[in-house]
């Protein structure tokens, strides 16, 4: 893989939850209620602030360390099943995502902290999966999830593209941190339903996003005007 000198990115790597599908308001509520059920004294705002964009493995490690509550047998599977049921009833794609993916020229893939079953279910349910030609990568495929760079480096390697020729679309601080650690520039998306948009924009910029946007339909223009100085 050799870096290009062209202006436009060769590969766009999308996070899924909160970027392609508006799943975070659903999954954060389900996670909060299930954590409370096993005795963790935590509220929705804390869960959203600390765990958005983080894998369940990392979340439960933090819960054990910070609250002294070990993961009960079957808990993670129960949370996943509960979340998938809620998705079936409530999940929608981010407004404008399907139309943009239909026309965008750049190669694209998904790199998400979600487990493979949830990830594919969400993309299938919202009709977005065909836009990625099965180029869908989960944190379950690497040793360390976000905020470590492993997943983004794995995705770029599988797609045969150098990290510097990618741009990542992320909505969370762990995701932005992971992409920057992988040597990839990031556009921060704060149009999902789970963030107060002013806070999200400031948080994502502070974590290293090149810029933020809150309308998915702005993405083609951002990619069209991309240049090497943005990297």
Provide the pLDDT for residue 226. 83
Provide the pLDDT for residue 50. 87
Provide the pLDDT for residue 7. 67
Q: Which two tokens stand for residue 162?
A: 């150098």
Structural domain boundaries of the chain?
11-23+92-230, 24-90
Can you give the pTM of this predicted structure?
0.84
Cα distance between residue 177 and residue 195, in whole Å: 18
Contact at 8 Å (CB) between 223 and 187? Answer: no
Cα distance between residue 147 and residue 173, in whole Å: 8
- Per-10-residue mean pLDDT for the chain, 231 residues long? 61 96 92 97 91 85 96 95 94 96 95 91 96 94 94 98 97 94 96 63 92 94 76 58
Superfamily of domain 11-23+92-230, CATH level 4: HAD superfamily/HAD-like (3.40.50.1000)
CATH of domain 24-90: 1.10.150.240
């Amino acid at each position: 893989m050799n870096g290009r000198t062209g202006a436009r990115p060769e590969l766009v790597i999308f996070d899924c939850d909160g970027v392609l599908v508006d799943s975070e308001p659903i999954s954060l509520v389900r996670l909060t209620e299930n954590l409370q059920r096993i005795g963790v004294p935590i509220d929705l705002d804390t869960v959203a602030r600390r765990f958005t964009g983080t894998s369940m493995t990392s979340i439960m490690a933090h819960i054990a360390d910070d609250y002294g509550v070990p993961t009960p047998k079957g808990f993670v599977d129960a949370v996943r099943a509960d979340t998938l049921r809620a998705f079936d009833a409530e999940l929608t794609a981010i407004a404008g995502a399907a139309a943009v993916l239909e026309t965008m020229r750049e190669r694209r893939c998904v790199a998400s902290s979600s487990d493979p079953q949830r990830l594919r279910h969400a993309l299938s349910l919202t009709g977005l999966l065909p836009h990625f030609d099965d180029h869908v990568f989960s944190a379950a495929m690497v040793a360390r999830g976000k905020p470590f760079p492993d997943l983004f480096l794995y995705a770029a390697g599988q797609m045969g593209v150098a990290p510097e020729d990618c741009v990542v679309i992320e909505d969370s601080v762990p995701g932005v941190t992971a992409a920057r650690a992988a040597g990839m520039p990031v556009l921060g998306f704060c149009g999902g339903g789970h963030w107060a948009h002013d806070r999200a924009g400031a948080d994502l910029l502070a974590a290293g996003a090149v810029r933020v946007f809150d309308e998915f339909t702005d993405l083609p223009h951002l990619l069209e005007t991309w240049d090497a100085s943005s990297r």
